[in-house]
Amino acid sequence: MRMVDLIEKKRDGEALTKEEIQFIIQGYTNGEIPDYQMSAFAMAVFFQGMTAEETAELTMAMVQSGETIDLSKIDGIKVDKHSTGGVGDTTTLVLGPLVASVGVPVAKMSGRGLGHTGGTIDKLESVPGFHVEISNEEFIELVNKNKLAVVGQSGNLTPADKKLYALRDVTATVNSIPLIASSIMSKKIAAGADAIVLDVKTGAGAFMKELDDAKALAKAMVEIGTRVGRQTMAIISDMSQPLGYAIGNALEVKEAIDTLKGEGPEDLQELCLVLGSHMVYLAKKASSLEEARHMLERAIEDGSALEAFKRFLAAQGGDASVVDDPSKLPQAKYVIDLEAKEDGYVAEIVADEIGTAAMLLGAGRATKESTIDLAVGLVLRKKVGDAVKKGESLVTIYSNREQIDDVKQKLYENIRLSSERVQAPTLIYDKIS
């Protein structure tokens, strides 16, 4: 087989066989196929697409390019959840303890990553003492005991995806549905998920700005899961404005605690109940989605979800008393309100730009080397559709620097008020299974 022939075949719109796809991925991973040929191939896929079968083969070839995590020693069906990007997306912090509290095992491998805020691990590290440096044996033991543990990414998972994603980033080939779908799904499958619940975001703060694109991506991922024997379903949810109120690391931990108590933002709570119900159902802990939802609502009401969070934090060295006293989380030096300049209704809170404002404060990493300030970030006081009076707070800014004119300006530019009444956006657009 020669790479040049396979590039040509894809360029001309033909479908590749399983063997051909494996040849490409193996050759690229071990360095026999150079970046320039892989770039041409990625561009051919960008224009010609891939069939569902090809996309599934590509996914499995990437899974097989490296190590995979064996979760077979964990009792029960392991359901993983994946949200595609987003701003202030606190769902993982809530869903872990929430579904664990009703007996669904959550074996979470998580990362730090780049972005507006840190990844799940960064957020959790704002709890004093909490750490993810646990051995694989300890990880499995903890999931069996507490139904929830989080471990840092270790080992050589999906090296083909790492290499290809970096290449796509510099060759204008990121935005291809088969390439995105296989990239995300390969990582979930390598991490040992039996079943997968996807939360595909749409809107300004999402990868897929348009609803139709989000749906197409969700369909492609569900199709991959189904073809490779992992039950998969997707929810399409709104990311035109940030989810919940808090955007920042310790601030999101506090928001997760509030939500686990039933006192969190309505949109975050609702999305967590919907995603969580599907996780519980796929894990076969409930015989219907309605039953699953009731179980989760009860776990919030009777405090068992919050208890699960405390148990989980303590098991990984964290000071669980932060749950009852969030003032023990890192605190910013300056707390400054951004006041509305006029009366009106909030018409738009541009999610990605608000995320950038949080990053300007130091809540996220611009490069791999940047350090994160866990204490800083934003808490929205108003969301789209809310009425606001001149002088009322739109956002509370948590900062460790006193001079924040740049942040204020970015926020004013991206929180648009209207004199007319505005409808709150739909939270959940669709479900694909």
- The residue range among 56-64, 86-94, 177-185, 256-264 that interacts with ligand URA, by the rule CB under 6 A, is 177-185
Q: Given phi > 0 = left and psi -120 to 50 = alpha, else beta, which region is 11?
A: alpha
Tell me the catalytic residues.
Answer: 82, 161, 168, 183, 187
- The residue range among 69-77, 178-186, 292-300, 386-394 that interacts with ligand URA, by the rule CB under 6 A, is 178-186
Q: Strand pairing of 377-380 and 334-339? A: unpaired
Taking each helix axis as running N to C, give the angle between helix 211-227 and helix 52-63, from 0 to 180 degrees, rounded to the nearest 10.
70
Number of residues that bind Ca ion (CB under 5 A): 4
- Based on the shown chain and the rule CB under 6 A, indicate whether residue 43 belongs to the binding site for ligand URA: no
Q: Is 289 exposed, middle or buried (0-12, 13-18, 19+ CB in 10 A)?
A: middle
Q: Which does 244 bind (CB under 5 to 8 A by kind): ligand URA, Ca ion, none?
A: Ca ion
- Based on the shown chain and the rule CB under 5 A, indicate whether residue 246 belongs to the binding site for Ca ion: yes
Supply φ then ψ for residue 109, to 5 degrees.
-105, 125
Q: Which does 180 bind (CB under 5 to 8 A by kind): ligand URA, Ca ion, none?
A: ligand URA
Q: Give, for 29, the enclosing helix (H) or strand (E).
A: helix 18-29
- Based on the shown chain and the rule CB under 6 A, indicate whether residue 183 belongs to the binding site for ligand URA: yes
Instruction: Give the separation between CA 262 and CA 96, rounded to whole angstroms.
Output: 15
Q: Is 74 exposed, middle or buried (0-12, 13-18, 19+ CB in 10 A)?
A: buried
CB of residue 201 to ligand URA, shortest distance in Å: 11
Supply φ then ψ for residue 358, to 5 degrees.
-65, -35
| CA dihedral for 188, 193, 199, 200, sign (positive or negative) | positive
Instruction: Give the separation between CA 300 and CA 261, rounded to whole angstroms.
Output: 6
Nearer to ligand URA, 180 or 415 (CB): 180
- Based on the shown chain and the rule CB under 6 A, indicate whether residue 429 belongs to the binding site for ligand URA: no
| Residue span 143-162 as binding mask against ligand URA, x where in contact by CB under 6 A, dash where not | --------------------
Helices marked H in 147-286: 159-169, 177-190, 211-227, 249-260, 266-282
Q: Which does 90 bind (CB under 5 to 8 A by kind): Ca ion, ligand URA, none?
A: Ca ion
| Residue span 197-216 as binding mask against ligand URA, x where in contact by CB under 6 A, dash where not | ----------x---------
Nearest residue to 26 (alpha-carbon basis) of 60, 68, 70: 60
- The residue range among 199-207, 214-222, 246-254, 324-332 that interacts with Ca ion, by the rule CB under 5 A, is 246-254
- Based on the shown chain and the rule CB under 6 A, indicate whether residue 165 belongs to the binding site for ligand URA: yes
- Based on the shown chain and the rule CB under 5 A, indicate whether residue 257 belongs to the binding site for Ca ion: no
- Based on the shown chain and the rule CB under 6 A, indicate whether residue 184 belongs to the binding site for ligand URA: yes
- The residue range among 119-127, 175-183, 386-394, 400-408 that interacts with ligand URA, by the rule CB under 6 A, is 175-183
- Based on the shown chain and the rule CB under 5 A, indicate whether residue 203 belongs to the binding site for Ca ion: no
Residues lying near Ca ion in the complex (CB under 5 A): 88, 90, 244, 246
Residues lying near ligand URA in the complex (CB under 6 A): 165, 174, 179-180, 183-184, 207
